[in-house]
Amino acid sequence: MSAVTIEAWIKALGKNHDELLAQGVHFKRPPKALYPDCDLVDMAPEVGISLTFWAETKRLETLFVTLKKSTPSTVEYKGELPAPYESEMTQSDVHALFGEPMESTGPIKMPQPMGQTGGWESYPLDPAIYPGKKVVFQYTAAMEVKTLVFTLIDKGHD
């Protein structure tokens, strides 16, 4: 997947599945729920990339880009990323690029197979280009960026 395609997915956050189809976006499979009556449906357009839609409205709410393997079943994305994102980033790099986060949670210990994490930090994206969107950096215990999470600031539900 190209950096341009990822950029297009970020801009598509907030649009519903039908709007995306009408704009010419093609999906190999429709989004699927992890279990019956789940509020979210997911799809993986490429290895290491996951899209999450709100089941009720089919609105695209979150784009996950996995950069580091954190569990045995985790698959890393190996393609291009839009600037300023890099496949190898640390918390220090993020702070140098984005400054102080708007939200954060420190390191926590999760049940196995995840184990110790480095927490996460979120930053609003440029409102002129990405209105109502933010990026969340999830960290490994060594404070390397594990996952880039692009999502809506206000999803309108819990």
Per-residue pLDDT of 80-111, as tens digits, reads: 999 999 999 999 999 999 999 999 988 888 77
Confidence of residue 52 (pLDDT cuts 50, 70, 90): very high
pLDDT for the residue numbered 50: 92
In this structure, is residue 70 part of a structural domain?
yes
- Total length of the chain: 158
The structure's pTM equals 0.90
Question: Which token pair is 130?
Answer: 């990405």
User: Domain for residue 55, yes or no?
Assistant: yes
Please check whether residue 33 lies inside any domain of the structure. yes
Q: Is residue 158 part of a domain?
A: no
State the residue for tokens 């190898």. 88
pLDDT of residue 113: 67
Exposure on the CB side of residue 102, measured as CA atoms within 13 A? 9
Number of domains in the chain: 1
What sections of the chain are H helices per DSSP?
3-12, 17-22, 91-98
User: Domain of 68?
Assistant: 3-152
Residue 157 within a domain? no
Share of residues in the chain with pLDDT > 70 (%): 98
Task: Look at the alpha carbons of 135, 140, 143, 144 in this order and tell me if their dihedral is positive or negative.
Answer: negative
- List the strands of the sheet with 117-124, edge to edge: 32-33, 40-46, 49-54, 59-66, 145-152, 133-140, 117-124, 103-105
Could you report the per-residue pLDDT of 118-149, keeping only the tens digit for each? 899 999 999 999 999 999 999 999 999 999 99
**Which among 52, 60, 50 has a CA at the least distance from the CA of 18?**
60
pLDDT computed for residue 127 by the predictor = 94
